Structure 1
Amino acid sequence: MTEESKKYAYFLGCITPNRYPGIEAATKTILKEFGIETEEMMGASCCPAPGVFGSFDMNTWLPVAARNLAIAEEMDLEIVVTCNGCYGSLQEADHLLRANPKLKEKTNKILGEFGREFKGTTKVNHSLVVLHDVIGLDRLKEKITKPMDDVNVAVHYGCHFLKPREVRGHGSSEDTYILEDLAQITGAKTPEYKDKLMCCGAGGGNRTADAVQSLEWMRQKLVSAIEVGCDCMIHPCAFCHLQLDRGQEEMEKAFGIFLNFPILFFTQFLGLAMGLSVKELGLDAQVTTMPDKLLK
């Protein structure tokens, strides 16, 4: 999408509108600051989840994802997402259907029963990439009014943003740069930490199937960030946000430990650096609280 394209179909997914509307508010506010509008995809369903759903029943997963893509095509807009799971499902479904004519024909036969068709005319964009590549670092930096010069940020990518790298198209899944770039334009530092590329602990149904193990993975990740002096963690995934924020309350019940390590969606972090309030960014509705260091 070019800079002149000013509107996206916003695929909200499940977690953002139902559990963390602050992610939606922060993202829409920042996009609008740069002249980019979003339009909701009326009638869209769950993406559906790439791991739990897509891994077990592709024959159902793919038509559901294709239906969502078809809605955006009918709007004549590209899609923007704020969840890695949604990104993974929709982008991979688009990739599979474009690459396999027989699969496309089979899927469209199902969609045709509901008056829809996948044509392959939309594109799935992560909001992180829209800010980094479409708006650009220089324009974003011009809007920073509250520099984060003394803040150390742990970046967390999650599982579905970087991999499979041939489909995602963001370069190496080991040598990362996009979140680091966005944090650093605020003046923040992004120290390396041991479990930087580790899952948040919730993926693949683990949060539901084995809650204690899921929380232990999360605990290890957060502690490894704290040990190198990080003040907060930023990420690009609504589902990771649920695990990393709400999970700290669950971890207190399970292990008797409450870290209160601040968790921010990347647009919430940028929003603070741009002078937006905790309330405007929905940070007042989270389990973890923001320290004065982030609110100066």
Structure 2
Amino acid sequence: MRKLSLFTGCLIPNRYPGIEKATMLVLERIGIKCSELKEAACCPAPGIYRSFDKITWLTLASRNLVLAEEKGTDILTICNGCFSSLMDANNILKTDAGLRNEVNAHLQKIGKEYRGTIEVRHIIEFLYTDIGVKELGDAIEKPLEIRAAVHYGCHLLKPTRERKLGSAECPVFFDELVETTGAKSVPYEGKTSCCGAGGGVRSAMLETSFNMTEYKLDRIIKAGVDCIIDACPFCHLQYDAGQIELEKSGKDYDIPVLHFTQLLGLALGFTPDEVGLHLNEIVNLKFEEKIAQIQNGIKTENYFFNRR
């Protein structure tokens, strides 16, 4: 197994440091060594830079790739957008000599050169393909008898020719990982639709963005779940802070939102505070009490939310 450097991106250290903490806790617990990628910058955001200036996007992304090349490690991301930007840039630069030369001309000004010697991984596909469902399941100490709404997010699945993780319409790999924790992945309408955050929608069309989030949350509530599980801090922000925004129009959700590493941390025996749930906008104490009961071997009701 190749060495790994963790790429946290921008949003996690600034808004959701609990996700980073949970990630390092669970990786250490399951025996995966992962170091910090120092001096890394924005990935940069695929929905903005890539859309308007391809060379600037590739140059900024390649600088991050070079930092990992210099360390001799692959990059491990915990964000769908970072995964998309860095993986796609890496694949393009490996296969297009003209673009690679143009980008290296810019990198030369800061004494760096892209060589194409590393891979970019997302923690979900890394755990699924390199660790495996069975081995991860064997590591679980506190099986979580909860119902979860799994949100894949767009950039984890598409484009399928790059991701190579199966169907983008009916994916299963993330659900299988979630169920290693003892949680049940509950089907719901619109499961693979966008949360409303990506592609510049949140930045340019905020009302449309929250309409998309409301559509998802209404159907998640209807399915009867304890929490939402995501794999991306931008999706996490949209569901977490988005609930606060939707309260202004009379909505009342109060659904806990967890990154997968936080869910895995709970199933490995870490407390809600240890995996950073208290740092979310939505802090549901009843959910945390239920987790504590499960971790202490107390039987709980089937699910907490079934209000619509």
What is aligned with 2:266?
A: 272
Q: Is the 8 A contact 2:30 2:139 kept in 1?
A: no
Instruction: Give the C-alpha shift of residue 146 in structure 1.
Output: 2.1
Q: Is the 8 A contact 2:80 2:153 kept in 1?
A: yes
2:31 paired residue among 29, 35, 39: 35
Deviation per residue, 1:85-127 (Å, 9 max, x gap): 0000000000111111111111111111111111000100001
What is aligned with 1:128?
A: 124
What is aligned with 1:260?
A: 254
Paired residue type of 1:153: A
Tell me if 1:206 matches 2:217: no
Partners of 1:294 and 1:88 lie apart in 2 by 33
Instruction: Give the C-alpha shift of residue 34 in structure 1.
Output: 2.0
Q: Is the 8 A contact 1:245 1:287 kept in 2?
A: yes
CA RMSD of aligned residues (A): 1.3
Paired residue type of 2:121: N
Instruction: Give the C-alpha shift of residue 252 in structure 1.
Output: 1.5
- 1:204 aligns to what SS in structure 2? coil
1:62 paired residue among 55, 58, 61: 58
> What percent of counterpart residues are identical?
44
How many residues in Structure 1 have an aligned counterpart in Structure 2?
290
Q: Is the 8 A contact 1:179 1:235 kept in 2?
A: no
What is aligned with 1:250?
A: 245
Partners of 1:32 and 1:278 lie apart in 2 by 18
Partners of 1:108 and 1:293 lie apart in 2 by 53
1:288 paired residue among 282, 287, 305: 282
Q: Is the 8 A contact 2:147 2:184 kept in 1?
A: yes
- 1:146 aligns to what SS in structure 2? coil
Partners of 2:139 and 2:76 lie apart in 1 by 22
Tell me if 1:104 matches 2:94: no
Listed as ranges, the matches of 1:1-296 within 5 Å are: 2=1, 5=2, 7-149=3-145, 151-253=146-248, 255-290=249-284, 291=287, 292-296=289-293
- 1:39 aligns to what SS in structure 2? strand
Paired residue type of 1:86: C
TM-score by length of 2: 0.91
- Unmatched tracts of structure 2, length 5 or more: 294-308
Instruction: Give the C-alpha shift of residue 293 in structure 1.
Output: 3.2
Paired residue type of 1:246: A
TM-score by length of 1: 0.94
Partners of 2:125 and 2:29 lie apart in 1 by 16
Q: Is the 8 A contact 1:98 1:120 kept in 2?
A: yes
